[in-house]
Structures are given as structure tokens and as C-alpha cells.
Amino acid sequence: MHIPYFPEANHPLVKSLFHQSDDELLSLLQRYPDTGKYFMAIFCRYSPIVYTLISHSARSPVQADYLFALTWRHIYYELGGLNLADAELGKESLTLQNWLINMTALCINEIQLPPTEAIHYSLKTTSPPLWCYVEQALEQLPPILRFTVLMAQTFHWSETRIAAYLQAEGENITPIEVANSLREGYRMLEDKLPGDIRAIYLSDDFR
């Protein structure tokens, strides 16, 4: 089994948090929801454990990568309201590590994965934290802009095909206008990402 490497773990914004405890990272994440580095630090700390658990249950590497991303997506949305003090594991307080293991097991058991050929997600192209924040930013775009960006990036539709689809849905739009919408959509999408996420993933030296 090959545990994936995430270069964002070496970014100074993330490395500066390595000395923080789990409880401190969780508290900072909840206190500053518009800052991405705290979730990034938790992800980098625990992604090997989560991936190891998932890799033993998935039928293929593609499914393992996709389930890994879906699991972290679920974790991301749960962390904001997580209160470990109210949770117990037997008679002991639940630690973040144990909670993450429980969430991973839940996702393994509950998420129904599509066939390998139907999965369009690539772990090498988009790491789970970036996916979470891009998805969150996409939800803030106007519907037409969100649709054009998704079709262009996820399914690689051309401006002509996007325009034809929208015209069939009653929208009066040309391929040139779709191209303009895409540029505006990408600009708005980047603008709605947290500043530290832009610094980590969109910098020229990110590999």
C-alpha cells in the first residue's frame, strides 16, 4: 500500500502549526472558520491513518482515493460543530484521533461508491482540503456561473456545448458569453477561497 504524499504539508503556513495540539487546532478551526490552515494541519497529521484504514476496504486504488476524499469532506463539515467534551468513548473522553477513526469507519460503512469507471476525482490533481474549500466557494457562485465552471472543469465541456445545453434550458447565451462567464466564474471562485488556501495552493512554487 502506498500512502499518498501531500506537498502542502511542507508549506510554512502548515508547518508552523505542527507544534499545536489536536485540541488547539480544533479550537482554532472553530474560532476562525474563514481560515483554512487549521483544517490543513489536522488533515496532514491524520491523513496517513485515514488512508490506511480506507485502503483495506476499497476494491480499487481509484475507489480508495475517492472514498478518502469523501471521508475528509465529511470530516470537514463535522469539525465545525464538534465538541469532544460532550462525546465519550466508553467511560473516557473522546480524543480527536479516536473521533477521526470513528468517522472514517462510518464513511467506510455508509458511503456507496460508484464503479471505478464512473469516478472523475483524482487525488493527484485535487487534494481533499482544496476540494472542500473549492466546493464551499462554488456554493457561493450564482447558479449559471457555478454550472459553467463545473461543466468545464469536471466534464471538460466546451463553451459551445455548455451554451447549447443552457439554450436548451431556455437561457439566451452564446459560446462567447460562456467563455466570459467562465473567466468571471474562475475569478469569483478564487476570490471566495480563504486567503491562506490561495497562498498554499495557488502560489507559483506549489508542487
Residue 84 is predicted with a pLDDT of: 87
Mean pLDDT, residues 116-141 taken together: 93
Q: For the chain, what percent of residues have pLDDT higher than 90?
A: 82
Q: What is the pTM of this model?
A: 0.89
Sign of CA dihedral 103, 105, 108, 110: negative
Q: Could you give the count of Cα atoms lying within 13 Å of 91 in the half-sphere of its Cβ?
A: 0
Give the tens place of pLDDT for each residue, 4-62: 999 999 999 999 999 999 999 999 999 999 999 999 999 999 999 999 999 988 889 99
